[in-house]
Amino acid sequence: MSIKNNIDAIKHKLPSKVTLIAVSKTKPNELLLEAYNAGQRHFGENYVQEVADKFELLPKDINWHFIGHLQRNKVKYIAPFVYLIHGVDSVNLLSEINKQALKNNRVINCLLQVYIAKEESKFGFDPNEIEEFITSKKIEEFKNINIIGLMGMATNTANDVVLNNEFKALNVLFNHLKNTFTNTFNFNLSIISSGMSSDYLIAINNGSTMVRIGSSIFGSRNYSN
């Protein structure tokens, strides 16, 4: 199977309103270009240095999604070009993104990562924390960010019932926040980023509008570190 075939096969299963993000972390530029030449324009990366290097070398009309865990001291390296930051998991991080966006004279779109999995190690906001943050009005100080959706990572399991429940909970929270906080400055939810190679069909059944797919497009990853 070629990368183009893989992309076409996935797209065939996605409703037209769902955006496919090709997760290209650890993959060489030749493979990204192959996806690009097949029409792919949204790419997801997890590591700051890697995405900065790829941004330099690859076509400028690529939309770079940062989907990994982002450290505050590294925001400055992606602030000039990042299209959407998915894994925002604290108010401190939002504050730094706002600062770096201002320096670059941009408004940076962000998704709040929500804690939906049972696993202890997963990053993210607790749903209550999000409401506290919005009602505290602190959000209005952040004029250079725009919160446009939620991101969730389900438990790493083959149990469809567990996956379905977790994605459903994300969808319920999304609708609740969207309907409760209408007309809130900087907070206009339209995106649910959920679903990876192994679980994206369950995610889209539960309202996902952006799927992040790596291995089903590029093959499995070999980590050297």
Ligand X SMILES: *Cc1c(COP(=O)(O)O)cnc(C)c1O
Residue type, 164: N
Instruction: Considering only the stretches 89-97, 138-146, 165-173, 213-221, report the one whose residues sit in contact with ligand X under the rule CB under 6 A.
Output: 213-221
- Of 145-184, which residues contact ligand X (CB under 6 A)? 153
Which residues fall within 8 angstroms of residue 60, CB to CB, at 6 or more apart?
Answer: none
**18 scored as a contact of ligand X (CB under 6 A):** no
Show contacts with ligand X in window 53-82 (CB under 6 A): 67-68
User: Does 134 interact with ligand X (rule: CB under 6 A)?
Assistant: no
Residue 213 Cβ, how far from ligand X at the closest point, in Å?
Answer: 5
How many other β-carbons are positioned within 10 Å of the β-carbon of residue 49? 11
CB 167 within 8 A of CB 194: yes
Q: How far is the CB of 46 from ligand X (least distance, A)?
A: 5
Smallest gap from residue 8 Cβ to ligand X (A): 17
Of the candidates 215, 110, 124, 121, the one whose C-alpha atom is nearest the C-alpha of residue 169 is 124
Residue 152's DSSP bridge partners are 114
Report how many residues bind ligand X under the rule CB under 6 A.
14
* Rg, C-alpha atoms of the chain: 17
- Verify binding: residue 85, ligand X, rule CB under 6 A: no
The pairing of strands 42-45 and 63-66 is: parallel
Minimum distance of ligand X from residue 211's CB (angstroms): 9
* Chain residue at closest Cβ approach to ligand X: 214
Cβ pair 34, 4 in contact under 8 A: yes
The nearer residue to ligand X, 65 or 186, going by C-beta atoms, is: 65
* Residues engaged in binding ligand X (CB under 6 A): 23, 25, 46, 67-68, 153, 196-198, 212-216
